[in-house]
């Protein structure tokens, strides 16, 4: 959620309307996350180095596109601006989408309800934490906290 709210704030001046921006950012991120979740088994068949390079490449693509958004395009056709945002957010969503099913991989059916509860709690708490971090320190700091949460979750992952 830290990532999503930070992106919405960043994209608002590119897409214009805050409601359209919120829906577009959420839809594109969730679409990318669904794609990442759906392709997890296939990605796990790749060599570990390949997975790391593909993930790093997708993150670099997203970061580069988001950092270099041509804000002078604010009067460009909406479809072009939306396609630009899609090119930036879908790859990011793919990378973020593998963590939830990866965490549940190998667990029995009783692990899913608590995992969804923690996921929902993170969504609610992420909204508040975003504002607590972003207001005094800025959006890049909030995104760094979000990235740190993912790195921390990777560190807590059990090895089977």
The string of pLDDT tens digits covering residues 60-69 is 898 888 888 8
Residue 70: CB atoms within 10 Å: 11
pTM: 0.71
Task: For residue range 6-56, list pLDDT tens digits in order.
Answer: 777 778 888 888 888 888 888 898 899 899 988 888 888 888 889 889 988
Label residue 16 left, alpha or beta by phi (over 0 means left) and psi (-120 to 50 means alpha): left
Q: What length does the chain have?
A: 160
pLDDT tier for residue 158 given thresholds of 50, 70 and 90: low
What's the confidence (pLDDT) of residue 15?
86
Q: Which domain holds residue 140?
A: 2-156
What's the confidence (pLDDT) of residue 160?
46
21 contacts 89 by C-beta, under 8 angstroms: no
Give residues with Cβ within 8 angstroms of 31, minimum separation 6.
Answer: 90, 93
Lowest mean pLDDT segment, chosen from 42-46, 108-112, 151-155:
151-155
- Measure the CA dihedral 103/107/113/119, to 10°: -10
* pLDDT over threshold 90, residue 90: yes
Task: Check the CA dihedral 116-132-156-97 and report its sign.
Answer: positive
What's the confidence (pLDDT) of residue 157?
62
Distance CA 106, CA 101 (A): 10
How many CA atoms within 13 Å lie on the side-chain side of 88? 23
Q: Based on the structure, what is the number of domains in the chain?
A: 1
Three-state DSSP class for residue 46: coil
């Amino acid at each position: 959620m830290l990532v999503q709210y930070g992106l919405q704030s960043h994209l608002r001046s590119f897409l214009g309307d805050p409601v359209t921006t919120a829906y577009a950012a959420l839809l594109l991120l969730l679409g990318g996350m669904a794609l990442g979740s759906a392709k997890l088994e296939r990605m796990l068949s790749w060599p570990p180095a390949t997975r790391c390079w593909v993930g790093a490449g997708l993150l670099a693509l997203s970061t580069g596109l988001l950092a270099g958004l041509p804000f002078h395009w604010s009067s460009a056709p909406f479809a072009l601006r939306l396609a630009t945002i899609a090119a930036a957010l879908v790859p990011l969503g793919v990378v973020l989408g593998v963590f939830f099913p990866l965490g549940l991989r190998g667990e029995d059916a009783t692990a899913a309800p608590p995992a969804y509860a923690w996921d929902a709690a993170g969504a609610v708490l992420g909204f508040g934490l975003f504002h607590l971090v972003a207001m005094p320190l800025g959006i890049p700091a909030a995104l760094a906290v979000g990235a740190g949460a993912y790195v921390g979750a990777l560190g807590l992952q059990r090895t089977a």
